[in-house]
Amino acid sequence: MEESQEGSLGGRVVRGGIGGVLMGLANLVPGISGGTMLVASGIYTRFIDAVADVTRLRFSWRAVSTLAIVVGAAMLAILALAGTVRDLVVEHRWVMYSIFIGLTLGGVPVVARMAKPITAPVRWGAAVGFVLMAGLALLQQQGGGAGGGEVGFAMFFLAGVAGAAAMILPGVSGGYLLLVMGAYVPLLDAIDKFTGAARGKDYAAAMDVGLHSLLPVALGVGVGVAVVSNLLKYLLHHFEKATLGVLLGLLLGAVVGIWPFQEGVRPTPGTIVKGRKILTEEQIAEIAPKDWPTAFFSPEAWQIGAALGLIVVGFAVTALVARLAPDNE
């Protein structure tokens, strides 16, 4: 996957900026892989090369400028749209989850194409990946859904590692990993609070959110990028088929955790929310809808039809973006 030409500086800036914005949006939306978006924008090889160089302390202009453009554009997209995406998930959960399923399945052909021909290691790796992801999803559902739950420093750190993995691995969605970890909505909420406090010049509040939420995420991203990029390089070199099989299984198992027909349920006395037992109506009134636990509901016929249509749309979007990648990427 070597790039044939260096290209103009302007072209590199434009391509890196577009790839970074798409990667940022991908990390906000469960189901879309940041790695896939970089492949689609034609910047994936250069980005991986830059990460490998910087993690080995090889600070060339090309590596540093590539990371600055891609990561900077991704951060701007995340800061600008985190609140909007969070609200859509909270207020229109089954609609968004249906789209997420389609986006997730749309990444399957990307990894399957990379894994051809499908041999026994690919199949066994896919089985392992599916069991791991489906098991994680089921455990998370037992814990009360993606909407509520106390998220501390350690979980935010792991959220950063998950986001980093999605930047490196085509087909794996960091947003989805955050969703099944129960850190998705809390992280979007923290980003929205930080930007709101910064715009309002409430620097004390911004610092509080930054230290308790965004700092551990940033640390996790740094550690995750360094570890995952080098680990992936090793695994693909020594166990290529099995590794691609695991990635394929992760995508297929991901669908288990985002069954679309879920909704936020207003807590009642005795409900556990964020590790605290709710006893009074006054306490219930203080809980924001984003923190309500989720539960499954029986859909109406029109909702089933709409969900299937949204899944097809989501699949088509990811598949279309993936097809835009040049062959040499």
Q: 3-state secondary structure string, 53-74?
A: HHHCCCCCHHHHHHHHHHHHHH
Cα–Cα distance, 71 to 74 (Å, whole number): 5
User: Is residue 215 domain-resident?
Assistant: yes
**Which of 300, 21, 245, 6 has its CA nearest to residue 131?**
245
Tokens (6 digits) for 175: 């947003």
User: Is residue 1 domain-resident?
Assistant: no
User: What does 142-161 look like in DSSP terms, one character per residue?
Assistant: HTT-SS-----HHHHHHHHH
User: Is residue 329 domain-resident?
Assistant: no
The residues of the chain scoring below 50 in pLDDT are 1-7, 144-148, 326-329
User: Is residue 246 domain-resident?
Assistant: yes
Q: Tell the residue number behind the tokens 């998220």, with chain if given.
A: 151
Residue 4 has a pLDDT of: 40
First to last CA, the chain: 5
pLDDT tens profile 88-103:
887 888 998 898 888 8
Query: Which helix (DSSP H) or strand (DSSP E) does residue 98 occupy?
Result: helix 93-106
pLDDT tens profile 9-22:
566 677 788 888 87
The answer to whether 101 and 258 have CB atoms below 8 angstroms apart is yes
Q: How far is CA 240 from CA 125, 131, 243, 286, in A?
A: 10, 20, 5, 51
User: Is residue 56 domain-resident?
Assistant: yes
Residue 234 has a pLDDT of: 80
Residue 147 has a pLDDT of: 47
Full domain range(s) for residue 121: 10-323
User: Is residue 5 domain-resident?
Assistant: no
Total of domains in the chain? 1
Phi and psi (nearest 5°) for 3? -80, 135
**Which of 204, 188, 206 has its CA nearest to residue 151?**
188
User: Is residue 231 domain-resident?
Assistant: yes
Residue 302 has a pLDDT of: 96
User: Is residue 29 domain-resident?
Assistant: yes
Taking the model in full, what pTM does it have? 0.67
